[in-house]
Structure formats: structure tokens, C-alpha cells
Amino acid sequence: MSFNSFGHLFRVTTWGESHGPALGATVDGVPPGIAIDEPAIQYWLDRRKPGQSRFTTQRREADAVRILSGVFEGQTTGTPVQLMIENTDQRSKDYSDIRDKFRPGHAAITYWQKYGIRDYRGGGRSSARETAARVAAGGLARAVLADLAPGVEIRGYLVRIGPHAIDRERFDRDEIENNPFWSPDRRAAEIWADYLDGLRKSGNSVGAIVEVTARGVPAGLGAPVYAKLDTDLAAAMMSINAVKGVEIGEGMNAARLTGEDNADEIFMGNDGRPVYSSNHAGGILGGISTGQEIVVRFAVKPTSSILRPRRTITMAGEATEIVTKGRHDPCVGIRAVPVGEAMMACVLLDHLLLHRGQVGGEIGHTRGRIG
Amino acid sequence: MSFNSFGHLFRVTTWGESHGPALGATVDGVPPGIAIDEPAIQYWLDRRKPGQSRFTTQRREADAVRILSGVFEGQTTGTPVQLMIENTDQRSKDYSDIRDKFRPGHAAITYWQKYGIRDYRGGGRSSARETAARVAAGGLARAVLADLAPGVEIRGYLVRIGPHAIDRERFDRDEIENNPFWSPDRRAAEIWADYLDGLRKSGNSVGAIVEVTARGVPAGLGAPVYAKLDTDLAAAMMSINAVKGVEIGEGMNAARLTGEDNADEIFMGNDGRPVYSSNHAGGILGGISTGQEIVVRFAVKPTSSILRPRRTITMAGEATEIVTKGRHDPCVGIRAVPVGEAMMACVLLDHLLLHRGQVGGEIGHTRGRIG
Amino acid sequence: MSFNSFGHLFRVTTWGESHGPALGATVDGVPPGIAIDEPAIQYWLDRRKPGQSRFTTQRREADAVRILSGVFEGQTTGTPVQLMIENTDQRSKDYSDIRDKFRPGHAAITYWQKYGIRDYRGGGRSSARETAARVAAGGLARAVLADLAPGVEIRGYLVRIGPHAIDRERFDRDEIENNPFWSPDRRAAEIWADYLDGLRKSGNSVGAIVEVTARGVPAGLGAPVYAKLDTDLAAAMMSINAVKGVEIGEGMNAARLTGEDNADEIFMGNDGRPVYSSNHAGGILGGISTGQEIVVRFAVKPTSSILRPRRTITMAGEATEIVTKGRHDPCVGIRAVPVGEAMMACVLLDHLLLHRGQVGGEIGHTRGRIG
Amino acid sequence: MSFNSFGHLFRVTTWGESHGPALGATVDGVPPGIAIDEPAIQYWLDRRKPGQSRFTTQRREADAVRILSGVFEGQTTGTPVQLMIENTDQRSKDYSDIRDKFRPGHAAITYWQKYGIRDYRGGGRSSARETAARVAAGGLARAVLADLAPGVEIRGYLVRIGPHAIDRERFDRDEIENNPFWSPDRRAAEIWADYLDGLRKSGNSVGAIVEVTARGVPAGLGAPVYAKLDTDLAAAMMSINAVKGVEIGEGMNAARLTGEDNADEIFMGNDGRPVYSSNHAGGILGGISTGQEIVVRFAVKPTSSILRPRRTITMAGEATEIVTKGRHDPCVGIRAVPVGEAMMACVLLDHLLLHRGQVGGEIGHTRGRIG
């Protein structure tokens, strides 16, 4: 990862601010001959779009994506794909309240300190709007994956909002699309709805944990020792706004386990591939995929844009209080689900290409055979 | 991060296997004119060296570092520094027991699947021995930091082994060097000693959590949106062997907090710099350092090299059991402390140089002034 | 350089095709606080714009640049600057003549072989239109240079068209802006005008040599041994469409010189900096700038778009002839002058930032002092 | 290219100085399962070794390579290969003559200005000894090419020394190995021998032009627009010590040709692949290989280490004269031939892997078929 780019071969550079004319993603290294058009990418953007339930910001953005390059007659050409999203909802507004104050927990102060520039209109480059560009790039990555590795299935969902976690016993994959929280546990979704209604009324916000999984990933993706698959996934997820922790498989809980408990025992599957008694590893050993389900979790902190007054300072260094009005998400973790999926898609595709480059062979076959 | 290299400007490439003739780090982008010699780097390697207490592996490695390039008359020249460590303890041994079996939880199976190569003598590139090269590079990074940013103080320690966490109430920075666990809580160290003695006798292993902190880091390090300081720290820590989770500040716990609770309120300090009422952010906002203490935690899984029999398969795909004899760490997390510190040093230095390159100005001064 | 990006810290990614909706440059790593606006960049684009004399293509493109991100209230913010140029002159046209034929000397055949995609409308990504994006990025680089290193003066010009070279005895820097060829030799410009008129009538094209110079470049830019200043300049120039050779200082002629003749003898200048008796080195020794004028030359081959029939094959592999009608440059080398200048600006700025990152110090001062 | 590394996927980092303990190449991204051992690499190093004829330096270096990592039981493992060459001929010597003087045409002055470090013992990092590491890496690249693309045949030779060029009419590929100049023209070799004998006696040196060719390169290697094959070759060659110019195909001469003359007409070959009437393009169109012979030339300037007195300054800034005694090459261009071949091998392999990563397919087959 380098400034505003990530990926080794499938390389995504996002650009743009929350209140500028447009934002987007410049995607380089796309394989040629992949069928793609704007609706196919728009589909994924619409899932992230704000204002789809009362639990997300009411800011109205069309988030309509345009493909400006790299696609000809419905196919990728192998050259850079420029995905642009114009900002349409830049309502003129009175910033006098906040333009001189730093919001606690917000990047405005560090951006100011680093660059000496204050974009008082909104988060600028640090805004969660940047993630729209990631979702667009992820939509493209998914189209390529569908062609090269059609068995890969990426699925994200929320597993915790504030004090309320899902019950893994009630996990139902089919439930995820049926509620505004991408919750795999219908009961948790009900609890979260009540909880967030209360929180919103009190002008507060709350954190969440997102889990993103990928099935059907071939064994062998990832590379020692700094381009490990888990290393790149950790970087990808940690780069999302407001993320403070990333876990693979057992994650932080691995610290509590013994070697005996943590070992995923190995057996021979009927299809001639290894199968495992468990998946503490989250599908990754030594930084390389095992062929099991990849499991990543990340924690999203509560947004700093709240109606509760907090003590802070002005740009002149004077003590003051701040209250952030406006249309903000009480739980930004909800809209982080499609973003986490997009990052998973980009990282997996990148490693698929990287592996193909170094090791060769047909996708899905391993160089070392067992049995 | 790219295959076996990390860093943007201060760029470290590690190489070598556990049972080859040598391993090391090729370090590029080192600022010139920094005083350095082999003893200064050896100091840090000795802290990681195995066999210093009964709680780490009894493998005997001198881990003696040689500087092969990039230093002239005691100063860095600005050209690549090659740090080489010869492997001396390659005792000849009978591998017949394990050369055809895959150890559950170990990277041997994924390396085999990816590359079609089986280095049955040991972990090869996936061995924790690779981390010696990181510590050597970290020693060099520390020497540069001492010159460019002398106020930076990096300190790591263990905060959990298996079921036993430290008590933050008993946190004593001076205690860290006084026990074989880098524990800041003397009582926890005693508990861990008993616990590990029992575990070792039973042939088992256990995980741990390491916390690495840095004080005196100037505000303004890190860059949007994929070279964030926390993104690079997450990648750096996740790339260490056996790490399964990384947290910044509140980490995964941020999911449980409200925006009101999570906000680090801002005040003006006596030295004309902002101070904060708390440090939920772990010293990083929007990917950029705030000037507060940087706080990173990572979980190390239990080693898979245990005396307890586990079910697995042979390279021929036949079901079998495996027991790993040899000189292994019951808790590899202990020796991960100096490794985490080394990665912190490398990442901070890299971002210091990156910031100086893009933004300029004297180190420690921010472009945007407050007050 | 990596696919469609170049630069280490000042990193430019160009995107877009000749006949798509738009093309542009995503510029990352821009220092903050630099005054810039669209007219300042447009100034440089207008110099490259086609149709300014009868010696360049009559294709009419406004080449109007828009800044979509990275600039706020007239200053760079330190985040990616997106420079977009819409394609306006995509006149609908009958391609039936050429859509199935490969033009000798044109990239259509290799793009087809590599990607299996045929953009029959024009050069697609291989079109010289891509260089508009470079010129836009170069305009931004110049604005940064004007701020950080105001003494740097970049100047390009033509030194040869076909059989007719300039006479160095008649070299007049003030003449360059006074003729449609950027010729420093007024007499050569007259000869070229006649020569090109004849060539154009006969439906042929011709090559040229561009020389790009930079004065006022501080000593010390460039780094061993693969980020040498001359290495990066060679790559930058060779990456321009149709370029087949690059020279620094004496260039290919260095092969004819003896060591005695080639040595630029060193003296102490009045300002306490070294001066040289000559500049065979072209301002670069060991890949690092000496403080003398940087001198780069590159050869541009004649365009393959000519009215003279050439033998070729169809996509079906059948023998045929091809004639390229349309509005093409008889000598693309002319419009390569602003492109070469832009690449020089980008490379110099990149190395200025790279040097500042690794070595530090005020711009223009050297770490090693003489005298 | 980045400081001391080059290559996208097959990534070579060289390290070490002429008078340090050792130098070498850290090679990352090597495909696994390639047969390699030290003699296979030594073979190529021996071709570059000094002291093989009276026309090269009499410095005696064994240049014995050791493989320290990345190879197990005679095969590459896919992890970094460390190639180390110890410096054995560091004869103690009196440097008092030259330690305070800058040699005209030598990098000592720019290194000093940039880094403030003076390695008075020899060229340090700027020494041509660095190219031994390239040749070692190139030997490894050749082994991989022999496995993946066995039809590729790389061949370099001298085409000019000072005023004396070869006669293309007398070009005989079989002659290259039969003379100490890698000359394809036996008569030129005789002329060069006489010429260099005279030059050596007079204590002077001279430049040369090396041509490096590759046959059997599949069509489709290279990528728009900054990772073009010719861009990467230009950078690779220009990064070699003392190189001042690089040409592809017609090179600088392309400026003199008309479009009609320069067009390589296309026909259908008997094997179903395109063939060309000529090769002005040097095997590369639009930055992508055509399948024709790749032809690169580069000019090597005369070494600055001569016995003829030149005027210069001391580190104190005082005017003086310098004469360089010692064992130097009268024409460093001779030993640049194996270096150029090595760079060609590394670049071709890198692009083969890059193409396989992005586009896929079996090596040697093109995605777009003709006919």
C-alpha cells in the first residue's frame, strides 16, 4: 500500500473528497476480456448507498458510477479502468459552527497538523465517502473473480453492534439480505433496531464488528513473508475509515488457546483435497490460503459526529465545546459491510494474479499435490 | 508490502531459511551519516535470542549479526545495508518421523500446495527464525530514529498468556526488564511462570497478546488512505509469524463503545500542543499520528509444535498422527515482543521519511499550527 | 514504473483512451499548500494542443483540463489530484477500411496479440493522446517545483527533423518560442517548414530528435543504483509514444570519446560550488545530479499513420495493403517537446522529494560540503 | 526501479561496495521448482570476471558466488534467493594520493555532495563491481527462462570501440565467443586489439557500444504505458555504470527515417504467426514485444580512471591535478556485455511473469489470435 494505492498487480488508487466535484477509483492491472458495464458495478454501490434505512445517514447521494476508460464494447481491455462517481448532494450549508473547531475522534485535527490545510466542509479525503470508490473497484474485482475463479463466494455481515453480539447458534446465511443490518441472526437484528432507535434519539453513535468471509478460495494464495494473504487483508481492512482492529480466524482469541485446541486437524477429503476438523486458522496458514473459508473480522469505532457536546479546541487553540449536527450514521459499521466485501474481493483477486504470475498453472490447481 | 519487502522509503527485505547457511535483511533507503556498528544491532538481537530462560526454545543460536555493506567507518553511507546472521545450530537430525507428515496449524502444507516444495528440515521460510532478520533491521531503524527523532521511545510487553491477563492497575513500566516475559505486572509474571511450567510438562503450548507502544512520536505521521500509519502497523504486525489479530488503541473493543465514550476530548497543552483526555484512538486519527502514545496490540497463536498427538495426513494423503519433538517455545508470544518493537521502529522511521519527503519541514514540527 | 504509474513519491497514473469519454492523470504524493488552479495547468496543455500550425494534426481537441480532487481553495491538500480531460472530438467515422487491418509500425497488432482486444476506433491506450495526461501532470509538477526549487528552469526544443539537424553555432534560446517547431535555430525552422510541406503533400511522415534541458537543478538528486536520475529520465522519455532512443549528455557519442576527452574537469566556482570545464556528463555523474545543466535527448520515430500504401495482414491473417487516412501529424516529434518537458518536471520533482525524504536538509543545499 | 531494486515480480535488489566484505543480489519473486546451483550461476560470473585478457582490469577477484537462501535440494523454493560474492582482492594500498581529490567524470563528487560520505578506497556503491551482482541475478533469471520459455536466446556483443565500429556485412554470430571483445566481426576485433594496446600504453581509455539481442521472445510482453518492455529495458541498461545512451531497434537513427521507410511490413508466416519485412522496431511496438528479435544498444562512456593528468579540486575546494593509478579497464564497455545480457534476462523474465499474472494463458501463446 502506498499513499492512495493498494494491490500488487490488481492495483487500485482512490481519489476525491466528500465535497469536491467527484471521487473515484483508478484501477490498473485488470485482466482483459472480462465482461463488465456500469450497471454491474452500480449493483454493489447501491448496497452501500446511504439512506436505505433509518439506521444510516439520510444524506442523499445517487452514487452513480461512470466507466471512463479501460472498457470497450462491454469488455475490459487490460488498460486502466477509471470509475468516477460525481458528488451531487453538496448542499450549501452554514459551516460557521464547526469550521474553526476540531471534532474529538475526527481526523480534521491530524490532517490540519500534517498538511496545514483545513477542508471545513466535511471530512475531505478522510470522509467515509471515499469508501464508495472502494466498492466500485470491488465490483470490478468481483466481475473478474466471477470469470477467473467462479467458485469464490464473498459474504460479509455484522456480528456485533455495541453491547449486542449475534448468537452463532442462530446463524442463518439466508437471513443476511433480509434486514437492514446484514445480520445473519434475525433476533439480533431486532435487538439492534431497538438499540439504535434509542441511540439515535439521544444523539449518540456506536461501534460494530463486521465479519467478511470468502468460500471457494483456492489453496495457495498469499506469499511470504510480507505479502501474506492475512497481512494484505489486515492492511485492507485497517485502511477502512474508523477501523481499529482486524482479526483472522480466531483473531485476538487465539491468545487464549492452547496448541492442542488451536490445531485444525487434517484429513483427506473425498475430492482428493485436504479437509480440516475446524477452522481456527480462518483459512490461512503461514500467510497462504488453505482452501478453507477465509474469515476476517474488523471493528468499526463509533462515528465522532454526534449531537452530544464534547470538549475541544478551536484552530486558535481556545477551549470550546462542539456538537455535530447533520445527517450522520448512528452506526457506520452497517455500511462498512459492503466495503469490507469489496476489499476482500480486491485482495483475493490481486493474490490470484500474483500467484499466477509467480507460480503459474491453472487457477484452482495447486503445484504441490497431496495423495 | 511486496513478497519479502516492506516499507516505502526505509525498505526492508528479509531473506533466508531456518536451516540454510544464513538469513538476513537487506535494508534500503537508510539515511546517511548515522552512527552504527555490529554491537549496536547485536544488542537488540540478544533480546530475542532463544534459550534465555526455561520458557523459550532451547535451540542454541549465536544469532551473531554481520554488517556486509552500507556502513563505512562507523557511519551509514545511504546505500543498502546488508545484515547477515549465519545459522550455526543446524544439528543433523533424523527427520524420518515428520518429513512426510503435515503438522496441523503449521505452514508446511500450504507451502507445499503453493510451491510444490517441501523443506522437511524445519519451517524454512515460515520459521520464526525469519524474525531475527526483522530485529536486526529494527536495530538499525532505532539507530536512525535516535538520530532523527530522539524523543521516540518504543516499548513492548506481554499483556496476556492464555487465560491470564495482566492487571492494568499493577502496570509498572520498570518491571518489564525484570522478568523473562517482558511483563509490566510482576504478579502476572509469577502466574505465567507457573502456568507455563505446567504447560511445558504436558507438552502443550499457548497463545499470548503483545502490546507495543511508542511515545514521543510527532503528530502528522501517516498518509491517506492506504499508507495510513495504522494500516502499515497492522500489516507489519500481522506479517509476524503466528499473529492472528491486530488492534490499535481500543481495538476490537471499539465496537462496544458509544461515540460519546470513545471521543478523546481535546485541550491545549502547556507546550502549545494539543493534549487529550484519553487515548481510545491509540495515538492515530484518520491514519495520522496525533502526538499521543501509539498503542498497538497483537495476538500470537500457540505454536503448532507440540508433543500432544494430533491427527493429520501424509504427503501421500494417508491418515496418520503427528507429535513434534524438538526444542520449541511453549509460548512463542514471549519472543514476539522484541519482534513487535522492531516492526514498530521500522514503520515509524519509514513514515518519518515519507512525511519529510512529501511535506518537508523539520522533524517534529507540524505544518498546520494550532493557536 | 508499474503498468500505468510512474514516480516514487510524486506518483502519476495516467488513464484513458483516445476515443473514450475522457482521459486523465491521477497524481499522488503532491506536497500540500501549493498554489494551483486549472488555468495554470491549461497553459501547458495548450502548448501541446494539436492544430496550432499546419505541421501538426488538424484534429480539434479542446483539451480542457478539470481538477476533480486534491485542491481546496486554490491550494493542493496533499491528497490525490485528479486531472481529467474530456474527449470532445470523437467524430463518428467509417472505420470499415482499417478495422480489420494492422497498420505496420503501429501498436494495434501487439495490443491485439497481448490482450485479444481490438479498439479499431483509434490508438486506444497507445494513442499519443495519452500524453495530454502527462502534460497536465507535468503542469502540476512545475507548480510544485516553482515553490520548492524556484531556480529550476526546464526547456525543451527540437534538434533534428529527418535529415536536417540544427546548427549548434546558431543556437538561440530566445528563438524557441518564435517558430512552430520549438527550434532554437531559426534557419533550421525554415528548412524544416519546407521539408515538412513536401513530406505532407507526399503523404509521408518523418522522425525527430527532442532535447530537454533543466538548469538550476541542485546537486545530489538521484540515488544508486536503480533509481539513478538518468535511469528514471531514460525510462520517462522511453515511455513516451514512438520514442526509440534516449541519451544523457554525450549519449551514444560517448562511445567515440577517450577518457581524457570525456572528463569534465572540475574547478571551484565563485559561489563556493564546483564548476566544470564542460558537460559531457549531461549534468549527471553516478546517477546523481552535479548541479550542471541536465541534458536529455530522445528520438521520436515517424508516425505509422501515412497515406503511402504499406503491405500488411488482416485479422484473419490475409495479405492486404493499408493506407491511413485521417488527421495525423507528419512529424509527431514536434508535439513531443512539451511532453518531454513534462516528464522532466515530474522526474525532477520526484527526485527532489525522494532526496528530501532520505537525506533531509533544505532544498538546494548538499549534505557534503566542498571547501 | 526503486533505490537499489528493479523488477515488478522478479525483483532484484543489489547491495554491497567494491571494498566492503561482500556484495550480492537479493532476488525475490523467483518461480519455484527451477533447477539451479552455484556452478550454473558461476558460469555467467566467470564471463564477466576481470583479468581474462590484457584488455580488462588486472584486478584479481575470484567472484565466487554462494547461494545463501531460496534453494533447497537443487531447486528454487519460491522464496528469496540470496546470492553473495565475497570481495577477496582488497589489497591494502596507499590512498593518500586520491583520498582528498575528486576524479573528473567519477561519481565520488556527487556521492559526497548527496550523502556527505566519502568512501575513498574505491568506487564504493558506484563501482562497476556492483554489476557482478547483476550478472549473478541474471544467471538465475536465465535458469528460469530456460525452464519457462526455452526458446529464448539472449546474445550480447560489442559493435563499437571508440572510432571503430563493426562492419554489419561481416557479422558472424559464431565469432562472438572467439575473441576477447565479444565481437561478431573478426576483423573489428583485430582493429580493436591494436587500438586498445596503443590506448593502454598512453594511459587513456575509451567508450564502446554494446548491442544485446533476444530471440524467441513471445509476442505480447510489455504493458502500457509506463511498464513498456522498451521502457524497462531502457531503465535497466541506463542503470549500468557509465551508460549514457540506450536505443531500441533503429534508436536515435529513427529520427532520420520517413514513415514509409520505418514501417516493418507484415506478412503471415508459415507457422501461423506474423512475420515482418524488417525490424526497425527492434521487436517492440507500443511497448509490447512483436515476436521478432529484441534489439537493444547502449553506449558506455570511457572510464574516468586514467593515467593522464586532469584538473580537479580537493575536498577542501583547492585546485589540483589528478592521475588515477591502479588496475583499470581501458574499455569498460567490454565487460559490460555480460552485464547487458543479464539485465535483458531479468527484464524479459519479469515481463513474462507480469504478463502471466495479468493475462494468463500458456507461455508463448497470445490471447489475440491472427488468422
pLDDT in tens, C189-232: 999 999 999 999 999 999 999 999 999 999 999 999 999 999 99
Put simply, the answer to whether C259 touches D308 (Cβ < 8 Å) is yes
* Tens-place pLDDT, residues A170-186: 999 999 999 999 999 99
Put simply, the answer to whether A22 touches C72 (Cβ < 8 Å) is no
**Preferred mutation among A14, A164, A199, A238 to probe B, highest tally of B CBs within 10 A:** A238
Is the predicted pLDDT of residue C354 greater than 80, yes or no?
yes
Is the predicted pLDDT of residue C328 greater than 90, yes or no?
no
Size of interface B-D (CB pairs under 8 A): 144
Q: What is residue C329's predicted lDDT score, i.e. its pLDDT?
A: 82
Residues A73-89: what's their mean pLDDT? 95
Give how far C198 is from chain A: nearest CA, Å: 38
Residues B247-254: what's their mean pLDDT? 98
Put simply, the answer to whether C107 touches D161 (Cβ < 8 Å) is no
Put simply, the answer to whether D33 touches B117 (Cβ < 8 Å) is yes
Is the predicted pLDDT of residue A357 greater than 80, yes or no?
yes
* Tens-place pLDDT, residues D3-36: 999 999 999 999 999 989 999 999 999 999 999 9
Radius of gyration of chain A (CA): 21
Q: What is residue D93's predicted lDDT score, i.e. its pLDDT?
A: 65
* Chain B neighbours, 3+ Cβ pairs < 8 A: A, C, D
Number of H helices and E strands in chain C, helices first, is 7, 18
Provide CB contacts within 8 A for A107, sequence distance 6+.
A123, A126, B285, B286, B287, B288
User: pLDDT averaged over chain D?
Assistant: 94
Give how far C69 is from chain B: nearest CA, Å: 14
Give how far B44 is from chain D: nearest CA, Å: 23
Picking from C359, C344, C361, the residue whose alpha carbon sits closest to that of residue C152 is C344
Question: Residues of chain C with pLDDT > 90: what percent?
Answer: 84
Put simply, the answer to whether C355 touches D114 (Cβ < 8 Å) is yes
Is the predicted pLDDT of residue D178 greater than 70, yes or no?
yes
Element housing C208 (H / E): strand C208-215
User: Which of D11, D24, D68 is facing B16, going by the closest CB pair?
Assistant: D68
Which 8-state DSSP code applies to residue D230? H
Is the predicted pLDDT of residue B119 greater than 90, yes or no?
no
Picking from B32, B27, D3, D244, the residue whose alpha carbon sits closest to that of residue C227 is D3
Cell 510444490 maps to which residue? B116
Q: What is residue D52's predicted lDDT score, i.e. its pLDDT?
A: 76
Q: How many CB atoms lie within 10 A of CB A216?
A: 15
Is the predicted pLDDT of residue A255 greater than 90, yes or no?
yes
Quote the CA–CA distance of B303 and B105 in Å, as a whole number: 8
Q: Collect all residues from C whose CB is shorter than 8 A from any CB in B.
A: 9, 29-33, 78-79, 148, 223-224, 353-354, 356-360, 363, 367
Put simply, the answer to whether B357 touches C359 (Cβ < 8 Å) is no
The three cell numbers of residue D300 are 558506455
Among A119-128, A243-252, D152-161, D350-359, where is mean pLDDT lowest? A119-128
Cell 495510513 maps to which residue? B228
The three cell numbers of residue C340 are 518531454
The three cell numbers of residue C229 are 536520475
Quote the CA–CA distance of C182 and C154 in Å, as a whole number: 13
Q: What is residue C91's predicted lDDT score, i.e. its pLDDT?
A: 60
Query: Which residues does chain B have within 8 Å of residue D115's beta carbon, measured at their own beta carbons?
Result: 32-33, 77-78
Give how far C159 is from chain B: nearest CA, Å: 36
Size of interface A-D (CB pairs under 8 A): 51
Put simply, the answer to whether D29 touches A367 (Cβ < 8 Å) is no
Put simply, the answer to whether A11 touches C3 (Cβ < 8 Å) is yes
Query: Which residues does chain B have within 8 Å of residue A225's beta carbon, measured at their own beta carbons?
Result: 4, 14, 125-126, 130, 239
Query: Which residues does chain D have within 8 Å of residue B66's beta carbon, measured at their own beta carbons?
Result: 21
Among A29-43, A81-95, C172-186, D259-273, where is mean pLDDT lowest? A81-95
Q: For the whole model, what pTM was predicted?
A: 0.98
Q: What is residue A91's predicted lDDT score, i.e. its pLDDT?
A: 60
**Preferred mutation among B17, B200, B231, B296 to probe A, highest tally of A CBs within 10 A:** B231
Q: What is residue C119's predicted lDDT score, i.e. its pLDDT?
A: 85
Which ranges of chain B would DSSP assign to H, the alpha helix? 38-48, 108-115, 130-148, 186-201, 229-238, 259-262, 336-358
Q: What is residue A93's predicted lDDT score, i.e. its pLDDT?
A: 65
Query: Are B162 and A258 spatial neighbours (Cβ–Cβ below 8 Å)?
Result: yes
User: Which of C33, C223, C360 is facing B356, going by the closest CB pair?
Assistant: C360
Residues B164-183: what's their mean pLDDT? 97
* Tens-place pLDDT, residues D119-167: 888 789 999 999 999 999 999 999 999 999 999 999 999 999 999 999 9
Put simply, the answer to whether A14 touches C80 (Cβ < 8 Å) is yes
CA closest to B73 among chain D residues: D119
Question: Residue type for A266, please?
Answer: I
Alpha carbon distance, N-terminus to C-terminus of chain D: 38
CA closest to A223 among chain D residues: D79
Q: What is residue A90's predicted lDDT score, i.e. its pLDDT?
A: 61
* Tens-place pLDDT, residues D35-88: 999 999 999 999 887 777 888 776 677 899 999 999 999 999 999 999 999 998
What ipTM is given for this predicted complex? 0.97
Is the predicted pLDDT of residue C92 greater than 60, yes or no?
no
Give how far C359 is from chain B: nearest CA, Å: 5
Residues B180-193: what's their mean pLDDT? 97
- Find out whether the peptide bond into C135 is cis, omega within 30 degrees of 0: no
Size of interface C-D (CB pairs under 8 A): 441
* Chain C neighbours, 3+ Cβ pairs < 8 A: A, B, D
Is the predicted pLDDT of residue B11 greater than 70, yes or no?
yes
Put simply, the answer to whether C281 touches D209 (Cβ < 8 Å) is no
Query: Which residues does chain D have within 8 Å of residue B38's beta carbon, measured at their own beta carbons?
Result: none
The three cell numbers of residue C189 are 525552422
Put simply, the answer to whether A9 touches D357 (Cβ < 8 Å) is yes
Q: How many CB atoms lie within 10 A of CB B53?
A: 12
Among A49-63, C162-176, C235-249, D226-240, where is mean pLDDT lowest? A49-63
* Tens-place pLDDT, residues B59-71: 677 899 999 999 9
Quote the CA–CA distance of C304 and C291 in Å, as a whole number: 39
**Preferred mutation among C14, C18, C117, C126 to probe A, highest tally of A CBs within 10 A:** C117
Query: Which residues does chain B have within 8 Å of residue D26's beta carbon, measured at their own beta carbons?
Result: 13, 15, 26
Quote the CA–CA distance of D158 and D336 in Å, as a whole number: 9
Is the predicted pLDDT of residue C251 greater than 60, yes or no?
yes
Is the predicted pLDDT of residue A164 greater than 80, yes or no?
yes
User: pLDDT averaged over chain A?
Assistant: 94
Size of interface A-B (CB pairs under 8 A): 440
* Chain A neighbours, 3+ Cβ pairs < 8 A: B, C, D
Query: Which residues does chain B have within 8 Å of residue D29's beta carbon, measured at their own beta carbons?
Result: 3
* Tens-place pLDDT, residues B26-47: 999 999 999 999 999 999 999 8
* Tens-place pLDDT, residues D287-327: 999 999 999 999 999 998 888 999 999 999 999 999 988 76
User: Which of B29, B31, B358 is facing C29, going by the closest CB pair?
Assistant: B358
Put simply, the answer to whether A357 touches D354 (Cβ < 8 Å) is yes
Query: Which residues does chain A have within 8 Å of residue C114's beta carbon, measured at their own beta carbons?
Result: 32, 78
Query: Which residues does chain C have within 8 Å of residue D130's beta carbon, measured at their own beta carbons?
Result: 225
- D92: confidence class by pLDDT, cuts 50, 70, 90: low
Residues C314-340: what's their mean pLDDT? 91
Query: Which residues does chain B have within 8 Å of residue A264's beta carbon, measured at their own beta carbons?
Result: 104-105
Percentages (nearest 5) of helix, strand, coil residues in chain A: 30, 25, 45
CA closest to A148 among chain D residues: D360
Residues D110-119: what's their mean pLDDT? 94
CA closest to B164 among chain A residues: A256
Among A297-301, B350-354, D99-103, where is mean pLDDT lowest? D99-103
Question: Residue type for A293, please?
Answer: E
Picking from A208, A234, A239, the residue whose alpha carbon sits closest to that of residue A222 is A234
Is the predicted pLDDT of residue C93 greater than 70, yes or no?
no
Residues A111-131: what's their mean pLDDT? 91
Put simply, the answer to whether C114 touches D299 (Cβ < 8 Å) is no
Q: Collect all residues from D whose CB is shorter than 8 A from any CB in B.
A: 2-5, 11, 13-17, 20-24, 26, 28-29, 32-33, 66, 68-70, 72, 75, 77-82, 84, 114-117, 119, 124-125
Give how far C89 is from chain D: nearest CA, Å: 23
Is the predicted pLDDT of residue A92 greater than 60, yes or no?
no
Query: Are D25 and D134 spatial neighbours (Cβ–Cβ below 8 Å)?
Result: yes
User: Which of D113, D227, D299 is facing C219, going by the closest CB pair?
Assistant: D113
Provide CB contacts within 8 A for A80, sequence distance 6+.
A26, A27, A28, A30, A69, A70, C3, C4, C13, C14, C15, C16, C125
Quote the CA–CA distance of D26 and D84 in Å, as a whole number: 9
**Strand-strand pairing, B164-165 and B75-76:** unpaired
CA closest to B243 among chain A residues: A251
Give how far B356 is from chain C: nearest CA, Å: 5
Picking from A346, A234, A216, A226, the residue whose alpha carbon sits closest to that of residue A297 is A234
